[in-house]
């Protein structure tokens, strides 16, 4: 192995420093131009329990992981950028800090009352904080503004089933399936309908 002179070592160190800085600068620039977007909600397959209560039986609520800050008063967001507010709510939702996510989704709906994603996420967050009655009301209102938004119908059907409204659940799930029975949301609606029917 050849031995390097002190000047070669110095040049090598300068090259490594420059190379590291260049990689850092390019990576930072990429993430500044393309910030990572958190999904509006985790996949519904992971949110929906694998068994729904049979018709006529009382539902059991989903057990929630208690994380720091869940019980604390959430700050009231005052921003005016619905995308940033949605992202902040989605990040809290992904951490299962549902109570903290609710004000962000509410603020999005103040700015964009017909936003079906925010309505869907607010409905789920309300349900996971034992406010299922309000969740159903939010989701029903959203179906009037966005009747073709398939995920709203699936979420409404899921929560309706959880609160023991089998008729409302079946109606919403059939509408979700009818929009597109072959995509993931439609397939999940079909699965939940099968559970409602005891299949």
Look at the alpha carbons of 97, 41, 192, 161 in this order and tell me if their dihedral is positive or negative: positive
| Overall number of domains in the chain | 2
Q: How far is CA 131 from CA 65, 126, 178, in A?
A: 16, 5, 28
- Produce one character per residue of 120-132: b if its CB has 16 or more CB atoms within 10 Å, e if not: bbbbbbbbbbebb
123 and 181 within one domain? yes
Ranking 3-17, 62-76, 157-171, 182-196 by mean pLDDT, the lowest is 62-76
Q: Are residues 69 and 30 in the same domain?
A: no
Are 87 and 5 contained in the same domain?
Answer: no
Do residues 129 and 109 both lie within one domain?
Answer: yes
2 with 93, same domain: the answer is no
Output the domain CATH number for residue 54.
1.25.40.10
User: Are 71 and 99 contained in the same domain?
Assistant: yes
Q: Which of 27-41, 45-59, 125-139 has the lowest mean pLDDT?
A: 45-59
Residues 108 and 152 grouped into a single domain: yes
The residue among 43 and 76 whose pLDDT is bigger is 76
23 and 91 in a common domain: no
**Mean local confidence (pLDDT), 153-165:** 93
pLDDT at residue 31 tops 90 = no
Same domain, 32 and 123: no
Encoded tokens for 66? 């208690």
Angle at 108 (CA atoms; ends 90, 100), nearest 5 degrees: 45
For the segment 42-69, what is each residue's pLDDT rounded down to a tens digit? 444 344 443 343 333 333 332 233 333 4
13 and 61 inside one domain: no
* pTM value > 0.75: no
Helices (H), the chain: 6-33, 44-47, 82-94, 98-111, 116-128, 132-145, 150-162, 166-179, 184-196
Please state the separation of Cα 125 from the chain's center in Å.
9
Given a cut of 50, whether residue 114 has pLDDT beyond it is yes
- CA Rg value for the chain: 24
Q: At 14, is the pLDDT very low, low, confident or very high (cuts 50, 70, 90)?
A: confident
Domain range for 75 is 38-196
Q: Say what the pLDDT of residue 29 is.
A: 60
Are the CB atoms for 109 and 137 separated by under 8 Å?
A: no
Shared domain for 14 and 62, answered yes or no, is no
The mean pLDDT value of the chain amounts to 77
Token duo for residue 193: 């309908």
**Whether residue 75 is found in the same domain as residue 172:** yes
């Amino acid at each position: 192995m050849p031995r390097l002179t002190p000047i070669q070592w110095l040049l090598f160190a300068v090259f490594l420093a420059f190379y590291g800085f260049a990689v850092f600068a390019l990576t930072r620039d990429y993430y500044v131009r393309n910030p990572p977007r958190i999904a509006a909600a985790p996949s519904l397959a992971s949110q929906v329990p694998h068994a729904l209560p049979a018709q006529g039986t009382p539902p059991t609520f989903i057990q929630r992981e208690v994380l720091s800050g869940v019980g604390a008063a959430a700050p009231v967001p005052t921003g005016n950028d619905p995308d940033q507010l949605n992202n902040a709510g989605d990040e809290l939702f992904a951490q299962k800090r549902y109570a903290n996510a609710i004000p962000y989704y509410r603020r999005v709906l103040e700015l964009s009352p017909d936003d079906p994603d925010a309505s869907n996420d607010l409905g789920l967050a309300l349900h996971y904080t034992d406010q299922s009655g309000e969740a159903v009301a939010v989701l029903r209102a959203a179906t009037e503004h966005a009747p073709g938004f398939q995920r709203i119908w699936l979420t409404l059907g899921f929560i309706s089933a959880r609160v023991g409204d089998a008729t409302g659940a079946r109606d919403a799930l059939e509408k979700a399936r009818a929009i597109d029975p072959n995509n993931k949301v439609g397939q999940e609606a079909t699965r939940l309908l099968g559970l409602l029917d005891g299949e």
